[in-house]
Chain A
Amino acid sequence: MPAFPKAAHDAVNNPTLRGNLRHATHTIRDKRAAAVAELDDWAQLREAGKQIKDHTLRHLDRYLVQLEESVTAAGGTVHWAADADEANRIVADLVKATGETEVVKVKSMATQEIGLNEALEAEGIAAYETDLAELIVQLGKDRPSHILVPAIHRNRGEIRDIFAREMSEWGRAAPVGLTDNPADLADAARLHLRDKFLRAKVGVSGANFMVAETGTLVVVESEGNGRMCLTLPETLISVVGIEKVVPTWRDLEVFLQTLPRSSTAERMNPYTSMWTGTSEDDGPSDFHLVLLDNGRTDTLADEVGRQALRCIRCSACLNVCPVYERAGGHAYGSVYPGPIGAILSPQLRGTQSEVDASLPYASSLCGACYDVCPVAIDIPEVLVHLRERIAQGGPVTREGNKAVLKPAKGHAAERAAMRAARWAFGRPGALRAGQRLASRTRKLHPRTLPGPGKAWSATRDLPPVPAEPFRDWWQRTDGGKKSDGDKKTDGVRKTDGVTKDGK
């Protein structure tokens, strides 16, 4: 896997990809702002979401044990997986115990993260993705590029070609003379997948939320493929990251309001399924929950970085990120692209690899991701923290053990930073947003650059960051014609996302 700057460079030079991405991110971004503006209490919902998640993380052991008890009492079986290999082995063994050789899958980041499909394939089990976008990705022997719309890098013509060429390999062939009309393409997928749903005996899913108090799992989706996989098979296996637990049933009232609006910009997504263990004669008679660590407890051990575990995977931060928009999801080299990927992947996987070490630099620090995040993750803060960790070294936790990370060798990190800087300076819009952030956090700025810039600033004096970016001052005062007023800028961060008047 090439490091971010190289991978991004390739994407930036692919005009089709950039066109598709730009259209997608801007469309979703604008719709999201409108959906969020409908709720007068967005700021309060966002704060409550943050507090619920922080409280849960702070007492994660307690809530996991409670969840286990609730799920077990409701007729489910709970398994614990410390890493990807263990999770894959548990799932493979459960599938084998049913005697089946194929499973239908609901789109899930956790199972992508652990490479479940490949692991099952190695055991002779075929895993069929059933989300339309995931189907496109799977048939195209491709990788997802966006959390919400994984095939967003493909246009309708490419999708038509993939369907016409590949569907027969996997099951029901595409109809002859298939056009590139989205409705026809969706129809071809419907027929192809219906065959699989109706005969499936084992379903595999993730979950958006797990309620400790009741043992309820929640899956939020649009197409109904989730409902098919969650209710038609006899056995259901859900692989879920331990950070997805929330304490109470009532907590869902916060996230079911913020997630759809942040994600697809809808008041509510078309389908949400909730189930608690097993129910007689309704849905799978056998339910297994695999609780996945795979680097999450290591992330939890980092005081600054642990806030990344609040993420509810809405993908809003991807759609506002100027770097994601140009680089595309594949450049991030992980299933978590965009700003959240830039802070989550290096924490889940460690920073040994070149791509993971370069990810914290895949940002202009403009702060737009923080502004839209429905659980108020301060992504820029974590990015700066991780840069510092990579460049200067320091304490980290890997697989539960404390270790000290050595400073990055050579100049790899520095080069990455300089490339990112060059990128930002070539783009006034991004630079301007970056300056805003710099102003807002001015008090915290060191006189030497943290991280990879240290060597550079060691021999130079850093200019102090002005209290307000020049452009903002110019605009506010109409080029100095109006009074300067008493604008407060020091250390002021917006505490809410987009509110009704767009402030």
Chain B
Amino acid sequence: MSSRDRILGRVRRALADVPPDDTSYEQAVDRSYLRVHGDLDVEQTVDLLAENLADYRAIVRRCTEDELARTIAAMLAARGAATVLAPPGLDPAWLSATDVVQVPDRADSTPHDLDRIDSVVTACAVAIAETGTIVLDAGPGQGRRRVTLVPDHHICVVRVPDQVVSSLPEALERLDPTRPSTWISGPSATSDIELDRVEGVHGPRTLEVVLVSDPPGVAA
């Protein structure tokens, strides 16, 4: 007998005492929990996102669409970055004001290649205000999962308010499970040594999030 059959057989015998139950899954689980916590308008939701991101020590900036290129250029300059990785599909306008060398994300680049890159700029799929989380799903402008992991500095651009949701349930609804996703809430952190929080053991030590509003001025 294969182990598959053995295990499934054991499961069935283990459940022999359980009376048959044909309740549909929809009915089996009481989902009376809240879909959203609190009653915030759009602007307050964006504020909450900014607050929660900052609470987990991401650096948050806000600007309008036409300020974005300059904002990113200034961030890269302040960091002293020599190279920046630009994933496929990233709006070229975003990097139009910087003279930092742009490196494309290539399938055949090795982890060692990535390790030599100073910064990475990406878009995101959705951002969750209640938890201060940005989600990347390898869509346009977000790149492979590893590009936001190996370089030490990640700049992530979130369009507000259309990429912002309030809650986790709302975020899951927007995502496609067949795409790989990375959920990021603040920079890499550990509390393994006497519960002292230390940023950046393995992932980027600096996470900067730019909340960009369009039309200009709405959430700035």
Are the CB atoms of A279 and B37 closer together than 8 Å?
no
Q: Which residues of A contact B18 (CB under 8 A)?
A: 58
Cβ-defined contact, B37 with A39, below 8 A: yes
Contacts of A222 in B (CB 8 A): 188-191
Bound together, the chains give a CA A40 to CA B34 distance in angstroms of: 8
B3 and A198 within 8 A (CB): no
Tell me whether A223 and B201 are in contact (CB under 8 A): yes
Q: Which of A186-194, A355-363, A427-435 contacts B (4 or more CB under 8 A)?
A: A186-194
Beta-carbon contact of A61 and B8 below 8 Å: yes
Q: Which residues on B sit within 8 Å (CB–CB) of A159?
A: 193
Asked if A324 CB lies within 8 Å of chain B CBs, one says no
A302: nearest chain-B partner, CB-CB? B14
With contacts A40-B37, A223-B202 known, is A297 near B149, CB below 8 A?
A: no
| Interface positions of B from 3 to 24, Cβ below 8 Å from A | 3-4, 6-15, 17-18, 21
The residue on A at minimum CB distance from B207 is A270
Tell me, rounded to whole Å, the shortest Cβ–Cβ distance linking B176 to chain A: 9
* Least distance between B32 CB and chain A CB atoms (Å): 5
> In whole angstroms, what is the CA distance A23 to B193 when docked?
12
Q: Does B41 contact A (CB under 8 A)?
A: no
Indicate the member of A24, A155, A186, A279 with the most B CB atoms within 10 Å: A186
Complex Cα spacing A195 to B103, Å: 22
A44 CB-CB contact with B under 8 Å: yes
Q: How far is the CB of B207 from chain A (nearest CB, A)?
A: 9
Min CB distance, B67 to chain A, in Å? 28
A27 on interface, CB distance cutoff 8 Å:
yes
**Residues in A neighbouring B17, C-beta threshold 8 A:** 303
Q: Give the contact-size bracket for chain A.
A: 35 or more
Does A198 lie within 8 Å of B194, measured CB to CB? no
| Contact present for B192 and A132 (CB under 8 Å) | yes
A44-B30 contact given A231-B149, A274-B181, CB 8 Å threshold: yes
- Considering the complex, which residues of chain B in the window 166-196 have a beta carbon less than 8 Å from any beta carbon of chain A? 168-169, 172, 177-196
Contact of A270 among B37, B56, B146, B172 (CB under 8 A): B56
Closest chain A residue to B106, Cβ basis: A281
| Residues in chain B near residue A275, CB distance under 8 A | 180-181
User: Which of A45-53, A379-387, A453-461 makes up part of the contact surface?
Assistant: A45-53
Judge whether A405 is part of the interface by a CB distance below 8 angstroms. no
Instruction: Identify which of B29, B52, B182, B194 contacts A271 (C-beta below 8 A).
Output: B182
Query: CB distance A224 to B149 under 8 Å?
Result: yes
Known A40-B34, A197-B202, A274-B180; 7 more pairs at CB < 8 Å: A82-B7, A222-B190, A252-B172, A273-B183, A276-B177, A283-B180, A397-B13
Task: Identify the A interface with B (CB < 8 A).
Answer: 20, 23-24, 27-28, 38-41, 44-45, 47-48, 51-52, 55, 58, 60-61, 64-65, 74, 80-82, 86, 130-133, 136, 149-152, 155-156, 159, 182-183, 185-186, 189-190, 193-194, 197-199, 211, 213-214, 216, 222-225, 227-228, 230-232, 242, 247-254, 256-257, 264, 266-276, 279, 281-283, 291, 293, 297-298, 300-301, 303, 306, 397, 400
**18 A-B pairs, CB-CB below 8 angstroms?**
A28-B195, A45-B33, A55-B25, A60-B15, A61-B8, A64-B7, A81-B3, A149-B195, A159-B193, A194-B202, A223-B188, A223-B202, A227-B182, A249-B177, A251-B29, A267-B132, A300-B15, A400-B6
Binding site for A on B (CB under 8 A): 2-4, 6-15, 17-18, 21, 25, 28-34, 37, 52, 56, 107, 110-112, 115, 128, 130-133, 138, 144-146, 149-150, 168-169, 172, 177-196, 198, 200-204
